[in-house]
Structure 1
Amino acid sequence: MKRISLFLLLSLLLGATVLYSQNPETNLRVVSVSPNAASLGTFGMIPTSNYVGQASLSIPVYEIDLDGKKFPITLSYHTDGTRVAQEATWVGLGWTLQAGGCVISVFGSNAKIYSANYYDIKGRVVKTVRSNLLGGYDITSTTYTF
């Protein structure tokens, strides 16, 4: 009787290490872009035309001429309205200083990069999508706006 109760106690203790009822918390850090970079992204993502009720307002400020190539610097206004808690850029709310363009990366946007590292359910880093069958999280999900 003593052996059976000892066997049951050991199997219960060893089996309890595998069982858990809580899901691990995921503290994904979302980094937002600056207001100046975010205002540049609206010109590439939201098309302007007179058919949808949005005008394209642009004021030329200066033009740089380097070896026959011209780089215009303009102040542009996008007429998509002011949103709640929208921060103003340093040239004004809704205005953007366009000087050749920029590359904006938005972290945490759920774009899958298949050669990146993933976290599996137990928090280990795996390197292939095949190892990520149980729903890990992409640690380098990024969308680029040009």
Structure 2
Amino acid sequence: MLGKTYDSQVCSIARSLELVGERWSLLIIRDALFAGVTRFGDFQHNLGIATNVLASRLDAFVASGVMTRDDDAQYLLTEKGRALAVALIALTEWGDEWASPIEPPILYRHTACGDGAVHARTVCDECGPVPPAEVAVRIGPGMPAEYLAARRGGTRAG
């Protein structure tokens, strides 16, 4: 989707960008998640996106399992697609804080209780909420051994 692959990147952010890193992609997911849009024509009308670009993005979402297409030609989010809600809420909150000169135009609310505010937060399993400045990275179990060996040897693999 991006016109560039990140094969040399050992990073889940880079892998995620391969699926949803293009601007229209996140807006399509936003409309499907929060506005209930399911039809090609409605996505096109709401976003003003070129039909060829929209078709390409929707096809890629279906191919990657982010969406399915049913017999009524509706594009429906899968569990994988719905899980992007947290990322979109986090981007919304960041945009409200750092990219918007006005008050938040959208507020996320919990439907089960009626009106509780919903937020994306960094949370420690032991301590609860933590500020982003206190978050560090560590090598995880999915880090390829050859990547670590290349880094120890003084060469950079990614």
Greater strand fraction, Structure 1 or Structure 2: 1
Higher relative contact order (CA 8 A, sep 6+): 1
TM exceeding 0.5: no
Question: Which category of TM-score, normalised to the shorter sequence, fits these structures?
Answer: under 0.3
Q: TM-score, normalised by structure 1?
A: 0.25
Q: Who wins on radius of gyration, i.e. which is larger?
A: 1
Q: TM-score, normalised by structure 2?
A: 0.23
